[in-house]
Chain A
Amino acid sequence: MRMSRRHSLACSAVLALFALAGCATVQPWERGTLAKPAMAIEDPVHETTQKLRTYSAKEGGAAATGVGGGGCGCN
């Protein structure tokens, strides 16, 4: 498969973020805002499961959202 230019850029961004990991440290006592429910990085797991399965059944594209989950013969 030939990777498009935009995907090469996106992959480069992932690698750059890996490289940057560790450069910034926000101390635990500075994370009050990050701990708010509105800032939760994941939606409730059942909502996420059902929405991703709907997208997967109705769209030809993909998203990088994790691994696992059985297929279905969704029409």
Chain B
Amino acid sequence: MAAISPRLAALTAAAMALPGVHVRAADAPGENPWAVDATHLEYSESGHRMSVRVNQASANVPLGENIQLKGNFIQDLMSGASPIFNAPGPGGKTQQVLTGASVFDNRKAGDIGISASFGDGQATLRQGWSKENDYKSRWNSIEGRWDLNQKSTTLAAGVAFSDDGVSSHDAPDDFQTRLKRDLFVGVTQVLNERSLVAVSLAHSYTNGFLSDPYKLVFVQSGGLLPDARPGHRQQTAVTAKYITYIPAIDSALHLTGSLSSDSWGIHSGALELQWKKELPAEWLVNAGGRYYTQSSADFYAPLYLSQPGDLHSSDYRVAGFGSIGWLAGVTKQVTPNFSVQIAAERTYRRSALRSGGVGIDADNYIWGLYLVTLQARF
């Protein structure tokens, strides 16, 4: 039997950990069980709308050979203006009415989890919370993963439950309940020596107060009404990811597609293509694009000529629209234990790219995000 080079041995050892893919918190225990990640992110929107500064830190700590403790903390500092409703503008063209640049909030969120490995399986239990002036959330999840067929196949499943409270600046202590249950199943399959595919199915059921307390609708025949949406919502989504290595360009292509449908009448699709290439001196670069499209909710209208029914919303997020964006990043492995990642994404929202229903050009805008992450592994 021919001797195996150290590099091939290292790659084989890493490959044995594959796929290990579906559930974020269920990372396979590897040679570096201690992990610390820290991220700073800047998000901004065109037209002096919302901007957000995010700080995130997380750590994985081994508790024995088969158990890992995971902790994660996020702080968001939000400020800027947000659309409230639409109204007729000059020449009868619909225009947005925004809040002043006075919106400010400080969100803090965190979660803690524990993962246990047993044979080819792994289970992760997590509990999290989130709190800001007018929104609070507590959630629990349990996720499992099972490797089959010499790790050529990974099955994954998870359930989660969240109990949220929604209030507004006008009545900050009057929290209304929003409950969400999530179910997720997925399978990842190694197809051949340089390709793999992952397909996932998710379903959620949400009930309670699902309207936005800050949104209004304009009624031409007189006055403004508060946003009013159904008291329950079911969403189903399918996501497929195909990754292949192309020797001719010494690069990997990542193609991800999603379809979703919900009981509000919103049907959406997304397609993302990324190119990733390793360069000498432990650099990894990636670039790509993302296309997204959705139809409007059944109860959406930009504005209402006469008194609407019980359900009505002019929120730009339940309108029909599409978007196209680019994303790019670079990662440098500085030492075997330390890496730095910089990533950016910029997205152009356009009502003309909607897949159905109603949308207006006044809702068009651009958002961008930029992040820096430091990763340490021991």
Interface residues of A (CB under 8 A from B): 1, 3-4, 6-7, 10-11, 13-14, 17-18, 20-22, 24-39, 41-42, 44-51, 54-55, 57-75
Contact = CB atoms under 8 A, between A and B. Distances in A.
Contacts of B323: 59
Contacts of B184: 64, 66-67
Given A25-B149, A47-B371, A62-B260, A31 B268 contact: no
A41 B58 contact: no
A37 B243 CA distance: 12
Nearest to B8: A32
A7 B238 contact: yes
Contacts of B329: 47
Given A54-B369, A72-B130, A24 B192 contact: yes
A46 B39 contact: yes
A32 to B, nearest CB: 4
Contacts of B151: 28
9 contacts: A14-B199, A21-B189, A22-B153, A34-B190, A47-B341, A64-B239, A66-B158, A70-B162, A71-B135
A17 B238 CA distance: 13
A72 B136 CA distance: 7
A9 B128 CA distance: 35
B21 to A, nearest CB: 5
Contacts of A60: 262, 264, 266, 268, 294, 297, 317-318
Report whether over half of chain A's contact residues are helix, strand or loop; otherwise say mixed: loop
A17 B189 contact: yes
A38 B278 contact: yes
Contacts of B268: 59-62
A65 to B, nearest CB: 6
A36 B171 CA distance: 53
Given A31-B190, A35-B15, A58 B317 contact: yes
B155 A21 contact: yes
A69 B107 CA distance: 14
B67 to A, nearest CB: 19
Contacts of A22: 148-149, 152-153
A20 to B, nearest CB: 7
Nearest to B203: A64
A56 B258 CA distance: 13
Contacts of A59: 268, 292, 294, 317, 323
Between B111, B132, B138, B150, the greatest number of chain A beta carbons within 10 A of the residue's beta carbon is seen for: B150
Nearest to A21: B153
B255 interface: no
Given A17-B197, A71-B178, 10 more contacts: A21-B149, A25-B152, A29-B4, A34-B18, A36-B252, A38-B286, A64-B186, A65-B200, A66-B184, A68-B111
A23 to B, nearest CB: 9
